[in-house]
């Protein structure tokens, strides 16, 4: 009896010890799993687990759209997930820029933000500024060009300016939304020529592509946009470019004079494009995206694509991109106030 009781008691101890060991092991496993998830590289290694949406605030066919699509296609290869490019136009760029800023900061909504983010708030169109995003990388810069129809009577930009000055209100212009970068390019050129910016009324458009189509159709007489955006129409013999608002000539169009060369006007302005995410994106996802974008920027595929279309390339990541946008915002605000375009 005693032996049986001792035996039974001994069996009880073994069961309790087994349960205790199992509980202890489960606790260890859970703690190890929690510690693994807490490691800086853990979330990064898991991202991305599903397709990514890239928002473009401007219409299909323009330079911003083309830049976003080449980067999106190369980003798919780097991240191993589809990158779906979506054009969200309207509001002179406000709709798309707001869609990027308002998305969840989880890395599954990215966007290409443009120079207009440093202009729209000066116009009173939105309260959004560059500070409302997680900056990733600047990858493109293009100066403005002055485009007219191929059959226009002006042989150079000086003749165009003379015609506008002699006939205020007659010659309409387009290329982007009211107060957008290409509008500012025109206004600055006119002001530097002692011509009131109002002498060439601006017809708003959702980007360069629709503005150029309006030019070809006869709805407007001038489009200020980057020369690469007008390239296909130039090569088709339907549009001609008279000058470029840059310190140096275009590699794509080396015969195209700068505005200073063509008319003695020391006015340069261009559009930049960079990639960003909603504010609050986790640091590990930021790092993964910036590393992927830098690899893309340095790749032959990206460089060849941009060069073949005459798009300028420029790199600035994270804090450097912030400093670039801050400087752009301040300088554009100053010019817009001087031209009466700021509210």
Task: Say whether the peptide bond before residue 48 is cis (omega within 30 degrees of 0).
Answer: yes
Contact 67, 139 (CB under 8 A): yes
At 24, is the pLDDT very low, low, confident or very high (cuts 50, 70, 90)? low
Look at residue 11 in the predicted model and tell me its pLDDT.
43
**What are the strands, taking DSSP E only, across 154-311?**
173-174, 222-226, 239-244, 270-278
Residue 274 has pLDDT above 50, yes or no: yes
Please tell me the distance from the alpha carbon of residue 186 to that of residue 189, in angstroms, as a whole number. 5
Pick from 2-6, 219-223, 300-304: least confident: 2-6
Average pLDDT, rounded, for the chain: 88
Chain position carrying tokens 């592509």? 209
Look at residue 28 in the predicted model and tell me its pLDDT.
45
At 271, is the pLDDT very low, low, confident or very high (cuts 50, 70, 90)? confident
Q: Residue 35 has which token pair?
A: 């510690």
Please tell me the distance from the alpha carbon of residue 310 to that of residue 243, in angstroms, as a whole number. 15
Summarize the confidence of residues 216-235 as an average pLDDT: 94
Please tell me the distance from the alpha carbon of residue 225 to that of residue 270, in angstroms, as a whole number. 9
Residue 8 has pLDDT above 70, yes or no: no
Residue 112 bridge partners (DSSP): 275
Summarize the confidence of residues 74-99 as an average pLDDT: 96
CA distance between the termini of the chain? 99
Residue 22 has pLDDT above 60, yes or no: no
Look at residue 74 in the predicted model and tell me its pLDDT.
98
Look at residue 52 in the predicted model and tell me its pLDDT.
98
Q: Is 67 strand, coil or helix?
A: helix
Residue 284 has pLDDT above 60, yes or no: yes
At 37, is the pLDDT very low, low, confident or very high (cuts 50, 70, 90)? very low
Look at residue 308 in the predicted model and tell me its pLDDT.
86
Look at residue 248 in the predicted model and tell me its pLDDT.
86
Residue 11 burial (CB count, 10 A)? 10
Please tell me the distance from the alpha carbon of residue 139 to that of residue 292, in angstroms, as a whole number. 12
Contact 184, 341 (CB under 8 A): yes
Q: Residue 243 has which token pair?
A: 């000058």
Q: Residue 1 has which token pair?
A: 């009896």
Please, which residues have CB within 8 angstroms of residue 5's CB and are 6 or more apart in sequence? none
- Higher-pLDDT residue of 19, 255: 255
């Amino acid at each position: 009896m005693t032996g049986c009781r001792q035996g039974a008691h001994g069996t009880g101890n073994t069961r309790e010890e087994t349960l205790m060991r199992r509980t202890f092991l489960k606790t260890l496993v859970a703690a190890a799993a929690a510690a693994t998830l807490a490691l800086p590289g853990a979330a990064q290694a898991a991202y991305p687990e599903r397709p990514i949406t890239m928002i473009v605030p401007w219409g299909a066919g323009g330079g911003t759209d083309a830049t976003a699509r080449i980067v999106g296609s190369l980003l798919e290869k780097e991240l191993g997930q589809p990158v779906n490019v979506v054009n969200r136009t309207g509001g002179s760029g406000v709709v798309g820029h707001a869609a990027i800023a308002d998305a969840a900061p989880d890395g599954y909504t990215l966007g290409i933000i443009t120079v207009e983010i440093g202009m729209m708030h000066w116009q009173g169109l939105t309260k959004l500024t560059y500070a409302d995003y997680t900056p990733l990388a600047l990858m493109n810069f293009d100066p403005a060009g002055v485009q007219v129809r191929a059959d226009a009577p002006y042989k150079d930009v000086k003749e165009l300016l003379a015609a506008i000055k002699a006939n205020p209100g007659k010659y309409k212009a387009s290329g982007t939304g009211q107060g957008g970068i290409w509008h500012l390019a025109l206004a600055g050129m006119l002001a530097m020529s002692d011509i009131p910016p109002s002498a060439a009324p601006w017809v708003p458009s959702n980007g360069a592509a629709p503005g150029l189509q309006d030019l070809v159709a006869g709805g407007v007489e001038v489009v200020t946009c980057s020369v690469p955006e007008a390239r296909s129409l130039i090569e088709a013999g339907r549009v001609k470019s008279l000058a470029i608002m840059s310190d140096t000539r275009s590699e794509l169009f080396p015969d195209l004079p700068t505005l200073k060369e063509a008319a003695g006007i020391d006015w340069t302005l261009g559009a930049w494009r960079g990639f960003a995410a909603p504010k609050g994106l986790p640091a590990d996802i930021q790092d993964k995206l910036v590393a992927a974008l830098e690899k893309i920027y340095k790749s032959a595929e990206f460089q060849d694509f941009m060069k073949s279309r005459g798009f300028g390339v420029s790199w600035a990541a994270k804090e450097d991109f912030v400093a670039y946008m801050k400087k752009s915002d301040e300088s554009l605000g100053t010019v817009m106030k001087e031209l009466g375009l700021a509210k």
